Structure formats: C-alpha cells, structure tokens
C-alpha cells in the first residue's frame, strides 16, 4: 500500500507522464534543468504549458515540492509511492510496463526538481492568497432614458474591471464597475507600486533572487 495519496486532480497529469514519447519526456527533463531558482505555482504551470502544451503535467510536478521538503525524503521511495498510489486510486490502471516507465520517469523528474524546495516555501506563504490569473478592463456606455425633451441624450460612461483569480484551487471571477476618478486612482496606485518594486529590486540586486509567482 502506498504511503502517499495523490489528489484526484493530479491523476490525469501523472498518467500523462507515463504516456509521453521519449522525445517528449526529455523535453520535460530539459525544462526542469532550466529551473535554477524558486518559482511560483502560477508562473511554473503557465511556463510549462507554454513550452510543453500540458498544464496538467506541470501542476502534478509542482505538487511534488511538498514531498521533497520532508527531511527524510528519499526520491526512490517517493517515485515508487507515487506510482503505487496512482495504481490504487485511478480507474484506468497502468499496465506493468507503463507502471515501470512511470516509476522511472518520476524518479528522473524528482532528481531534477530541487528548485521545488524553495518554491514550496514560497507556496506555503502564498497558498492562502487569492492569485490573479486574468484581468481585463472594458468601457461601457449606458444610455439614460427620460421623459424630458433634451437636445442630447444623457449617458453614463463606466469602465468594467474583470478579475479572474484562483482561490483554494478553484477559478473564481468578480466584476467591478468604475468611473473616471476610479481609473485615475487605480492608475496612480499601480504606477506607485511599480516604482516601489523597481526600487526594491534595484536596491537588492545581487543580494536577493525574487521568485515570480
């Protein structure tokens, strides 16, 4: 019996690892070799999906960070437990041949994933945050109807702010309406934040390596 229970959301990603061609799995290894520092979950998954066209595998690999953070973690045991856990939980079991392939590939992936130790520390800090995944601002004109006979129609100009974010592993969205003064205030705050970030990065250049969420 496996000592690890894979979350059901990661079972498709684990299965995909076993089904990749040799060329594809080596692209995964090459991608992991390029990760020299910590990286946030959203940044990692989006980068992985951009290069390798499979977000599920990226999400599954990132989840291994917590397993690697245990002081007594052994990569060989973790890869075997992950393989056994998949076979116990998945409805579509792997053949003995694919099970062996999965175990070997998980071992190789874990061997190349030390950067996830730092990433896991960052994730612990931000796991309860609402992480924005998409934003959009559009303008909207609303006509106001009245019985009065004005030469010009009255209208209201509003700006629609759409925010999609990840909360507790699920995608949620909210919409806010703003007027001109709200836009100006928001612009000012964003510009101030960008200036603060630039100064912080400049003052700590060569000292701190910032993780991109």
pLDDT of residue 77: 92
Distance CA 208, CA 202 (A): 10
Q: Which residues contact 170 (CB under 8 A, 6 or more apart)?
A: none
At residue 213 the predicted structure's pLDDT band, cuts being 50, 70 and 90, is: low
At residue 21 the predicted structure's pLDDT band, cuts being 50, 70 and 90, is: very high
pLDDT(109) > 60: yes
The string of pLDDT tens digits covering residues 33-63 is 988 777 777 788 888 888 888 889 999 998 8
pTM of the model: 0.65
pLDDT(73) > 80: no
Q: What is the largest CA-CA distance in the chain?
A: 81
The string of pLDDT tens digits covering residues 157-179 is 999 999 998 787 788 999 999 99
pLDDT of residue 149: 65
At residue 210 the predicted structure's pLDDT band, cuts being 50, 70 and 90, is: confident
DSSP lists the bridge partners of residue 139 as 159
Task: Using CA atoms of 63, 68, 74, 77 in order, give the dihedral in degrees to the nearest 10.
Answer: -10
pLDDT of residue 137: 96
pLDDT of residue 71: 54
Q: Is 157 exposed, middle or buried (0-12, 13-18, 19+ CB in 10 A)?
A: exposed
Distance CA 137, CA 20 (A): 39
Distance CA 15, CA 23 (A): 17
* Domain extents in the chain: 8-126, 131-203
């Amino acid at each position: 019996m496996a000592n690890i229970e894979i979350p059901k959301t990661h079972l498709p990603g684990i299965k995909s690892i076993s089904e990749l061609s040799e060329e594809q799995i080596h692209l995964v290894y090459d991608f992991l070799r390029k990760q020299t520092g910590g990286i946030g979950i959203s940044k990692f998954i989006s980068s992985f999906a951009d290069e390798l066209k499979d977000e599920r595998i990226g999400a599954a690999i990132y989840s291994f960070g917590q397993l690697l953070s245990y002081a007594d973690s052994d990569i060989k045991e973790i890869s075997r437990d992950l393989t056994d856990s998949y076979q116990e939980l998945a409805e579509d079991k792997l053949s003995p041949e694919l099970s062996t392939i999965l175990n070997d590939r998980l071992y190789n992936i874990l061997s190349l994933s030390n950067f996830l130790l730092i990433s896991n520390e960052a994730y612990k800090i931000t796991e309860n945050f609402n992480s924005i995944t998409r934003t959009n601002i559009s303008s909207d004109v609303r006509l106001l109807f009245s019985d009065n006979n004005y030469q010009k129609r009255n209208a209201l100009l509003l700006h629609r702010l759409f925010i999609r974010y990840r909360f507790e592993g699920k995608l949620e969205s909210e919409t806010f309406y703003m007027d001109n003064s709200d836009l100006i205030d928001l612009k000012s705050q964003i510009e101030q934040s960008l200036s603060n970030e630039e100064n912080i990065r400049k003052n700590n250049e060569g000292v701190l390596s910032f993780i991109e969420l």
